[in-house]
Amino acid sequence: NAGVTQTPKFQVLKTGQSMTLQCAQDMNHEYMSWYRQDPGMGLRLIHYSVGAGITDQGEVPNGYNVSRSTTEDFPLRLLSAAPSQTSVYFCASSIGTPNREQYFGPGTRLTVT
């Protein structure tokens, strides 16, 4: 099993550009989530999904869109990049219950200039 994979590993965008961060898992997990990590802030939840076709907002959803058309994939779209979106982005998946541990991908480091 590859677990949770993310592409790209690094990305530099100019303000106003759009892009999609890819996330895939091969563990047949129903739950998938996107987090961002900023210095001194821990990880903050952006969006999450409880199954194909079902998504919901997390703590910091503004400027991001998600969709979940398959169990395996959960892409994160930046509509118009801003310097405030410079961060490290992590995708995670889990079975949800009874054990709620989430398994994380290696991350995407995004810089917006």
Partner 1 sequence: DQQVKQNSPSLSVQEGRISILNCDYTNSMFDYFLWYKKYPAEGPTFLISISSIKDKNEDGRFTVFLNKSAKHLSLHIVPSQPGDSAVYFCAASAGGGTSYGKLTFGQGTILTVHP
Return residues touching partner 1 (CB under 8 A). 4, 31-33, 35, 40-45, 48-50, 54, 56, 58-59, 90, 92, 94, 96-97, 99-107
In the complex, least distance from residue 111 CB atom to partner 1, rounded to whole angstroms: 15
Tokens of 52: 């194909």
- Which residues is 7 bridged to in the sheet? 22
Nearest distance from residue 83's CB to partner 1, in Å? 22
Cβ of residue 80: shortest distance to partner 1, in angstroms? 26
Smallest distance, partner 1 to C-beta of residue 5, A: 11
Q: Which of 58, 57, 32 lies closest to 44, judged by CA?
A: 58
Q: Give 57 or 62: the residue with its C-beta nearer to partner 1.
A: 57
Structure tokens, 112: 């917006």
Q: Closer CB to partner 1, residue 44 or residue 77?
A: 44
Q: Are 68 and 33 in contact (CB under 8 A)?
A: no
DSSP annotation string for 12-25: EE-TT--EEEEEEE
